[in-house]
Amino acid sequence: QVVYQVPLKENHVSKRNVDQQLRIKIIYDRSVEDLLPEKRHLIKNKLFPQAVSYLEKTFQVRKSTGTILLSRQCATNQYLRRKADPHRYCRGACADHTRCGPVIVPEKHLQQCRVYNESEWHYGPTGLPDQEGVRDADFVLYVSALTTERCGHENIIAYAAYCQLEAEMDRQVFLDFTGYANLCPNMISTQAQEFVGMLSTVKHEIIHALGFSAGLFAFYRDDDGKPLTTRYADGLPPFNESLGLYQWSNKVVHKAVRLWDVRGGKMLRHTVHLLITPRVVEEARKHFSCPILEGMELENQGGMGTELNHWEKRLLENEAMTGSHTQNRVFSRITLALMEDTGWYKANYSMAEKLDWGRNKGCDFVMKSCKFWIDLKRQKRQLISPYCDTLRSNPLQLTCRQDQRAVAVCNLQKFPKQLPQEYQYFDNLNGVPAEELPYYGGSVEIADYCPFSQEFSWHLSGEFQRSSDCRIVENQPDPTKNYGAEKYGPNSVCLIQKSAFVMEQCRRKLSYPDWGSGCYQVSCSPQGLHVWVKDTAYLCSRSGQVLTVSIQMNGWVHVGNLICPACWDFCDSCPPERDPPAANLTRAAPIDLCSCSSSLVVTLWLLVANLIPLLTGLFLCA
């Protein structure tokens, strides 16, 4: 049960001005205390403190004082309101417990019960008076770790929503001020490689509770505090029974029809919903470089809880407020603009994170189907990025994520049934018969089945081992399986491999079937971008230059070829591109661990002279 227009004491909101940082108070449910110690520590000491710190730095609110008290829920879910009276009166009795989502709200956070008796036409308070409430907070978040029915849905890590809204009727200002977040216990990962993703999920869920929710669109206000959606006499907007939500106006969400290219030269009418508040429109137009864009498209798939409650995945793939976590989540200026357009916050845009997906792609990208974009780029013999058309197969053909920070694979796959005509994009695919083309699309449904290169994870017997994000040290492969001589860490990026790397030792040669890209450390210098393989630096003089790598590591020689990226992709200052100098033709001298050449004998003699054990070197030469 969501409660709207909860009255606050007169001193709670002092004025309309936005002049203080948002203050979030976390209340942990008993279920969090019952978790295993490592999970409890992760939630209470890392995830929520860091998420709250980020959000408090990102948003400001009106100055407020006093306490927050929640209205009690009614035993029958039936209540009345009296004219000029901000309180609501339960029919017969208040409920024994008031819940915020799955959490039972502590008694000390509740207002006094108010009831009406139809037979006596009596209205009034009953039971305990107002309790102490929550002080020094603008928003109260109840956090639980309960195995609920929703946790049984596939891949649900956490979910959140708002509970109650305040009403200051004289100022006509709404502020969403209580919410909940429930983490599904079995999905809480304590592995270091998954921390960034877990933290992003927690931020994502709190932002839903703070205002990014279809159930709150009808309560958004303009900069003057005036409702963007018309209100009835009771102060509430009209209710949409079919959606189960208060109905927003066309000043908030606008329905539009796109002309949508699909296979076979056909064009369909594709209906979308766009959030059209002023700052969102401005930021969306700037991001895509599309001056005629009406607003930012909302998700049209995924069912209740996903649809309309997130940005469209096809257009903002790794934006943190899309409906699924695929890779490298970032909270962009567009999301901060939405929060400011609620009328409740002022956003600090310096806290926004860079979003590369869709940047400067233009109106053809943001207003048409991905088939139109793919065909257009193919005709011009250009890369179809950010989309892809390489069929996911075994062995994998690896590539790089769009931002070159992770190894990726194109998620184009064959489905067991034909996709809806609206999402059939291919007139031809290498190796695929024409009659099977309707079965092919990207694996992420809420991206409108558009295929794109996606970060992935390695699992062993169903257990997570590591991800393909180059920046995470814990993703470093085992030395015995590090065929490409890769290096994961904060200064590493994804580079394309021109050929499969080979590990050689005497007459033995090993290679890995999945190849095409890998993670390597890079550095910037006045000479340009350097790629480091083990302790050897290779200078990239120009984009596309082929680096021939041959290095010794753990008793094996690793041989392969890497393709240089553009220096400007990673460095703030770069020299003009040029051909590599004759003295550095990126060809490495071969290393032969199985022949005792004179140079190696000299090296061994010098090492002996310095009393360094040489058994390993001697065995390699035997």
What mean pLDDT comes out for the span 166-192? 72
In SS3 terms, 153-173 reads as CCCCCEEEEEEEEEEECCCCE
Angle of helix 195-210 relative to helix 48-58, nearest 10 degrees, comes to 50
User: What's the distance, CA 223 to chain centroid?
Assistant: 29
Average pLDDT taken over every residue of the chain: 87
User: What's the distance, CA 389 to chain centroid?
Assistant: 23
Q: Please enumerate, as own/partner, the contacts of 458-467 that have beta carbons within 8 Å and a separation of 24 or more.
A: 464/189, 464/191, 464/193, 464/194, 466/193, 467/193, 467/194, 467/406
Q: Write out pLDDT tens, residues 567-601.
A: 999 999 999 999 987 655 444 555 655 653 333 33
**The predicted structure's pLDDT at residue 136:** 86
Percentage of the chain exceeding pLDDT 70 = 87
122 marked among binding-site residues: no
Q: Are 388 and 228 in contact (CB under 8 A)?
A: no
Alpha-carbon gap, residue 184 to 160, rounded angstroms: 11
What mean pLDDT comes out for the span 278-287? 99
Residue 394's beta-bridge partner residues?
A: none
Q: Are 475 and 447 in contact (CB under 8 A)?
A: no
Alpha-carbon gap, residue 604 to 449, rounded angstroms: 59
The domains located in the chain, with CATH, are: 3-210 (3.10.170.20), 253-364 (3.90.132.10), 389-460 (2.10.55.10), 476-569 (no CATH), 592-622 (no CATH)
**The predicted structure's pLDDT at residue 283:** 99
Instruction: At 513, list the tokens.
Output: 């079937």
Per-position DSSP letters for 374-437, written without gaps between them? HHHHHHTT---TTB--PBP-SS-BEEE-TTSSBEEEE-EEE-SSPPPGGG---S--TT--GGGG
What mean pLDDT comes out for the span 95-100? 93
Measured CA to CA in angstroms, residue 74 lies from 113, 217, 547, 589 at distances of: 9, 25, 71, 80
Instruction: At 330, list the tokens.
Output: 């970032």
Greatest alpha-carbon span in the chain: 109
**The predicted structure's pLDDT at residue 117:** 80
Residue 10 reports pLDDT greater than 60: no
Alpha-carbon gap, residue 510 to 377, rounded angstroms: 38
Q: Write out pLDDT tens, residues 102-117.
A: 999 999 999 899 898 8
Q: Write out pLDDT tens, residues 420-468.
A: 999 999 999 999 999 999 999 999 999 999 999 999 998 888 888 899 9
Q: Are 103 and 119 in contact (CB under 8 A)?
A: no
Alpha-carbon gap, residue 334 to 238, rounded angstroms: 28
Radius of gyration of the chain (CA): 29
Residue 173 reports pLDDT greater than 60: no
208 marked among binding-site residues: yes
Q: Write out pLDDT tens, residues 493-545.
A: 999 999 999 999 888 888 888 899 999 999 999 999 999 999 999 999 999 99
Residue 397's beta-bridge partner residues?
A: 515
CB atoms under 10 Å from CB of 18, counted, come to 15
**The predicted structure's pLDDT at residue 583:** 52
- Please report where in the chains the tokens 């339960």 appear, as a residue: 90
**49-54-57 Cα angle (round to 5):** 120
Instruction: Please give the order of strands across the beta sheet that includes 296-297.
Output: 253-262, 266-275, 296-297
Strand spans (E) along 145-225: 158-168, 173-183
SS3 (DSSP) at 541? coil
Strand 492-505 relative to strand 517-525, pairing:
antiparallel
Alpha-carbon gap, residue 360 to 378, rounded angstroms: 19
**The predicted structure's pLDDT at residue 569:** 93
Give the pTM: 0.85
What is the sign, positive or negative, of the torsion defined by CA atoms of 351, 353, 354, 356? negative
What mean pLDDT comes out for the span 272-298? 99
**Kind and range of the H or E run holding 608:** helix 598-609
What mean pLDDT comes out for the span 160-180? 62
**The predicted structure's pLDDT at residue 16:** 45
What mean pLDDT comes out for the span 154-176? 64
Active-site annotation holds for 297: no
Q: Are 133 and 109 in contact (CB under 8 A)?
A: yes
**The predicted structure's pLDDT at residue 616:** 29
User: What's the distance, CA 580 to chain centroid?
Assistant: 40
Say which DSSP state 516 is in: S
Instruction: At 213, list the tokens.
Output: 């929710």
> What percent of the residues of the chain are helix, what percent strand, and what percent coil, each to the nearest 5?
25, 35, 45
Residue 255 reports pLDDT greater than 50: yes
Instruction: At 191, list the tokens.
Output: 């592995």
Report the range of poorest mean pLDDT among 170-184, 402-416, 502-516, 598-612: 598-612
325 marked among binding-site residues: no
Alpha-carbon gap, residue 72 to 108, rounded angstroms: 11
How many residues are given for the chain? 622
Q: Write out pLDDT tens, residues 207-252.
A: 999 999 999 999 999 998 899 999 887 778 999 998 889 999 999 9
Q: Which of 166, 168, 194, 205 is catalytic?
A: 205
Report the range of poorest mean pLDDT among 124-133, 149-158, 481-490: 124-133
What does residue 85 show for φ and ψ, rounded to 5 degrees? -120, 115
